[in-house]
A = this chain, B = another copy of it.
Amino acid sequence: MGESNESRERLISCAKAEFLRVGYQKASLRHICTEAGLTTGAVYFMFGDKNGLFGAVVEKPLSELFALLGQHIAEEKEEDMSAYTHIKGDHDAFAQEIVELLYENYDEMMILLDKSQGSEYENLPDRIIAMLDECYGVVAQRFAKSRGRRVNEYMLHYMSHIQVESIIHLLTHERDKQKAVENIKPVFDMLVSSFVEYVLE
Contacts and interface: CB of A to CB of B under 8 A. Distances in A.
Contact of A162 (B117, B157, B162): B162
Interface of A: 25, 117, 152, 154-155, 157-158, 161-162, 165-166, 169, 173-174, 183, 186-187, 189-190, 193-194, 197-198, 201
B154 A158 contact: no
12 contacts: A25-B25, A154-B183, A155-B183, A155-B186, A155-B187, A157-B173, A158-B169, A161-B169, A162-B165, A162-B169, A165-B165, A186-B198
A154 B166 contact: no
A173 B197 contact: no
B198 A189 contact: yes
B189 A173 contact: no
Contacts of A189: 198
Given A154-B183, A158-B183, A158-B187, 20 more contacts: A25-B25, A117-B117, A152-B186, A154-B174, A155-B186, A155-B187, A155-B190, A158-B166, A158-B169, A161-B169, A162-B165, A162-B169, A165-B165, A186-B198, A186-B201, A189-B198, A190-B194, A190-B197, A190-B198, A194-B194
